[in-house]
Amino acid sequence: MQSVRRALYVLILIVCLAGLALPAFTQQVIATIPVGCNAQQCSTQSGNQ
């Protein structure tokens, strides 16, 4: 019974730490997604209009 309780505490600790690390991980993933266009693409697109 003692080992089951200890394993449960460790599992809860791992889940909590993963939950705390999730926002930082998702922020890094979102930062890698390109948004908008770079200057060269924007200048060629505005020239075509």
pLDDT at 44: 60
Distances (CA, A) of 7 to 3, 17, 28, 36, 45: 6, 15, 31, 47, 59
| Residues 12-32 pLDDT 10s | 999 999 888 888 888 888 888
Among 32, 39, 25, smallest CA distance to 47 is for: 39
pLDDT at 31: 81
Q: Provide DSSP, the chain.
A: -HHHHHHHHHHHHHHHHHHHHHHHHHHHHHHTS--S--HHHHHHHHHH-
Q: What is the pTM of this model?
A: 0.50
Using CA atoms, how far apart are residues 41 and 14, in angstroms rounded to an integer? 45
